[in-house]
Amino acid sequence: MPPRPDFRARGHAEFPAAVPPGALADLRAACDALLAEPADDGGDGTHRIGLGRARQFLAHRHEEFPAVERFLLGPEMAAVVEACLGTPGYLFNEQFVVKGAGSGASFAWHQDGAYVGFDHTPYLTVWIALDDATEENGCVYLLARDLDRQPGLEPHVWQEASNELNGYDGDAPGTPMTAAAGDVVAFSSLTLHRSGENRTPRPRRAYVCQYSAEPLLDPATGRPKRFAKPVGEAPASA
Ligand SMILES: O=C(O)CCC(=O)C(=O)O
C-alpha cells in the first residue's frame, strides 16, 4: 500500500483512538512501573536528554513487558506504520516520555532524525498519548512539512543548559497536537516538533515508538541502531 498522500504532504497524520483500551492499560502500567525506579537522565546513549523528574525518558525496556512488545509489533501499530511508510516496517526505538507534575521542562524544536547521528532513510515516530495531552500539560506542537519538497535535516545546535538539540529559531508556534489518551500522532523523523511545559498538578505520560521501512543500521558497527524487529510478526516472548 503506498503511503497516505496527506502524510507525505504534511509530514504527520492523526489516528484517533488507535490504541485499544487494553493496550493503553498495559502501556500505562509499564510506564508507571518504570517511573517507580530511581530517576535517570536517560536519552539515546549519545544525547542525555532527560531533566530528572521534570522530563523523563524511560527507554528500551519493552522486552520486560510482553504485552507492550506484542502491542508494538501488533496489528494496530502495523496499520499506522503502513499508512505512513507504505510498509509495516521495523521497530527500532521506543521510550516513554513523562513530563513531571508542574514541570517547567519543555522540549525544544527538533527533527527526530537529528538525534540519530549518521545518514539514514527518514523514519516514522509514533507518539501515543497515555494521558489526555493538552496545551496546559505539555502536548506536542508540529510544523507541517511536505516530505517530498523538504526532504532534509535542518542544522541543529546542542543546548547545554536544557540537554537538547534545537533545530528551529523561527517564530511559528506550531500546531498543538492535543490528543485524548489512546490517540496516536504519527510524524516523520523530518518533521519539526517541540513540546510544552506541564503546568498541571499531574504527570503527562506519552509513549514514543519509532519505525523504519528497513532496519536502521549504524555504519560504525553494521548493526541495527537499538532494535530491528519486524512489525506484524509475533515476538519470540509471546
Ligand atoms: O513527548 C514529548 O514531550 C516530546 C517527545 C519528543 O519530541 C521526542 O521524543 O522526540
Extended strands (E) in 41-183: 55-59, 90-99, 107-110, 124-129, 140-142, 157-159, 164-166, 175-176
Any domain includes 232: no
pLDDT tens for each residue of 78-134 = 999 999 999 999 999 999 999 999 887 999 999 999 999 999 999 999 999 999 999
| 144: helix, strand or coil | coil
CB 195 within 8 A of CB 129: no
Range 192-216 average pLDDT: 97
Q: How many CB atoms lie within 10 A of CB 210?
A: 24
Task: Report the distance separating Cα 72 and Cα 23, nearest Å.
Answer: 10
Q: Which three cell numbers stand for residue 191?
A: 518533521
| 171: helix, strand or coil | coil
CB 121 within 8 A of CB 168: no
236 has a pLDDT exceeding 70: no
Domain count, the chain: 1
Task: Report the distance separating Cα 114 and Cα 155, nearest Å.
Answer: 8
Residue 52's pLDDT band (cuts 50, 70, 90): confident
Residue 238's pLDDT band (cuts 50, 70, 90): very low
Any domain includes 227: no
* CA distances in angstroms from 131 to 24, 178, 238, listed in the order given: 10, 11, 27
CA 18 – ligand 1 centroid, Å: 19
Q: Which three cell numbers stand for residue 176?
A: 498543538
47 has a pLDDT exceeding 80: no
Range 68-76 average pLDDT: 97
Any domain includes 233: no
* Residue 43, burial from CB neighbour count under 10 angstroms (0-12, 13-18, 19+): middle
CA 219 – ligand 1 centroid, Å: 26
Any domain includes 225: no
Any domain includes 228: no
Of residues 177 and 5, more confidence is placed in: 177
- Which segment of 2-16, 47-61, 136-150 scores lowest on mean pLDDT? 47-61
Q: Which three cell numbers stand for residue 63?
A: 522486552
Full residue range of the structural domain in which residue 96 is found: 5-214
Any domain includes 24: yes
Q: Where does ligand 1 bind, in terms of residues with CB under 6 Å?
A: 97, 107, 112, 138, 140, 193, 195, 206, 208
DSSP structural state of residue 86: S
CB 195 within 8 A of CB 108: no
Query: Residue 66: which CATH number?
Result: 2.60.120.620
Range 224-236 average pLDDT: 86
42 has a pLDDT exceeding 80: no
Mean pLDDT for the chain?
93
Task: Report the distance separating Cα 64 and Cα 96, nearest Å.
Answer: 14
Per-residue pLDDT at 233: 76
- Distance from the first to the final alpha carbon of the chain: 28
Task: Report the distance separating Cα 110 and Cα 191, nearest Å.
Answer: 8
Any domain includes 70: yes
CA 84 – ligand 1 centroid, Å: 19
Task: Report the distance separating Cα 105 and Cα 138, nearest Å.
Answer: 9
Any domain includes 234: no
Take atom 9 of ligand 1 and give the residue whose Cα is closest: 208
